Amino acid sequence: MKFDSDPNLTTDWPRELRGEGAPRDDAIARLHALLVRVARGEAVRRRASLPARGAEEVDDLCVQAANDALMAILSKLDTYRGAARFTTWACKFVIFEVSTRLRRYAWRERSVELDETIWDRLSDQAPPALKRIEDDQLIQALHCAVEAHLTERQRLIFQSVTMDDVPIDVLAERLGTTRGAIYKTLHDARAKLRRALTDAGYADQRND
Amino acid sequence: MTDHRLDEILGTTGRDPGCDAGLDFIDEYCDLVAHGEPVPERFADFLTHLANCRACREDTESLLAAVREQEDRSAR
């Protein structure tokens, strides 16, 4: 295997992290360094979505994400089953932590609210005339279905996520809940809308 | 509005386990993809979720990039 030279890929992490004393402390320090490096790499990947100023704040977020990921990894060590490399399993925690923080940081000065003008911007820019009529009818049917079948909270989540590109983690923070709970609401709203469109004669193939 | 845009809005059909269950599969999936291994059928629901959830799709791309970066470092 070409990666045998990297100690991070060959270390018996579970054994070392379950150990005691200095060897365990050393393993924790090396894992933390790996998590910080991955978090910083993710910040670089996402730099286009981040404000030009604020590099220090972003770095703080990376370190916080690594700290929280390390805590999660140590508390969930017994759930590691070896289906993936240990480093991949560990890195998913820091990716989740840092991406959530960076999405929220990028949106920190933007409000999240129902924007009814979004419906006017939903059509393609310049489709052929016949397609445009079909589009307008479909968009009108979708708009009616949203008004008729979704609760206020479902409308906010559905329109924000699917039409206004508000990150689901930002919504979770603003609404005081979790990514999973927001996604469940979105999933239920989409199912209602697919059924309503089918009943109205659209999108026959879009049943659950 | 393209079918792709409509899929983005309404989501694709199929069993979707959601974000929390998706997190259980993301590491194994990224290892398989990074090493060019075939992705087994049992990942079908996870892949449906990735198609429907932009945040989880982005996180998967990010983890895959991290795995590849680590292997590139190792190969140097």
Query: Are the beta carbons of B20 and A180 separated by less than 8 Å?
Result: yes
Which pLDDT value is given to residue A95?
98
Phi, psi of A108 (to 5 degrees): -65, -25
Query: If you measure CA to CA, which chain B residue comes closest to A131?
Result: B1
| Contact: B18, A187; criterion CB under 8 Å | yes
Q: What is the pLDDT of residue B1?
A: 58
Mean pLDDT of the residues in chain A: 88
What confidence score (pLDDT) does residue A202 get?
81
In this prediction, residue A176 carries a pLDDT of 96
A98-131 pLDDT, tens digit each = 999 999 999 988 888 887 777 777 665 555 555 6
pLDDT at A206 over 50: no
Contact B74 A206 (CB under 8 A): no
Question: Is residue B2 very low, low, confident or very high in pLDDT (cuts 50, 70, 90)?
Answer: low
The span from the CA of A141 to the CA of B17, in Å, is 28
CB within 8 Å of chain B, chain A residues 103-122: 103, 122
Is 3.30.70.1400 the CATH number for A116-199?
no
A21-60 residues touching B, CB cutoff 8 A? 38, 41-42, 45
Cβ-Cβ contacts under 8 Å, B9 against chain A:
142, 162-163, 190
- Which of A159-168, A177-186, A193-202 is the most confident on average? A177-186
- Gap from B48 CA to chain A (nearest CA, Å): 12
Query: What are the tens digits of pLDDT across the range B8-67?
Result: 889 988 899 999 998 899 999 999 999 999 999 999 999 999 999 999 999 999 999 999
Tokens of B17: 């386990």
Residue A121 is predicted with a pLDDT of: 72
Number of helices followed by number of strands (H, E) in chain B: 4, 0
Contact of A76 with chain B, judged by CB distance below 8 Å, is answered with: no
> What pLDDT is stored for residue A207 in this prediction?
43
Chain B residues in contact with A87 by the CB 8 A cut-off are 67, 70
Max distance between CA atoms of chain A, in angstroms, equals 73
CB-based contacts of A196-204 (< 8 A; 24+ apart in sequence): A196/A145, A196/A148, A196/A149, A197/A138, A197/A141, A197/A142, A197/A145, A197/B10, A200/A141, A200/A144, A200/A145, A202/A138, A202/A141, A203/A138, A203/B6, A203/B10
Q: Do the beta carbons of residue A53 and residue A109 sit within 8 Å? A: no
Q: What confidence score (pLDDT) does residue A32 get?
A: 98
Listed by start position, the domains of chain A span 7-106, 116-199
The residue among A139 and A189 whose pLDDT is bigger is A189
pLDDT tens digits, one per residue of A41-88? 999 999 988 887 888 999 999 999 999 999 999 999 999 999 999 999
pLDDT-wise least confident of A4-18, A33-47, B53-67 = A4-18
> Between chains, do B1 and A96 touch, taking CB under 8 Å as contact?
no
How close does chain B come to A127, measured CA to CA in Å? 8
Nearest CA in chain B to A169: B55
Cα A11 to the center of its chain, rounded Å = 30
C-alpha distance from B24 to closest chain A C-alpha (Å): 9
Q: One-letter amino acid identity for A141?
A: A
Q: What is the mean pLDDT of the segment spanning A31-48?
A: 96
If you ran DSSP here, which 8-state letter would residue A175 be given? T
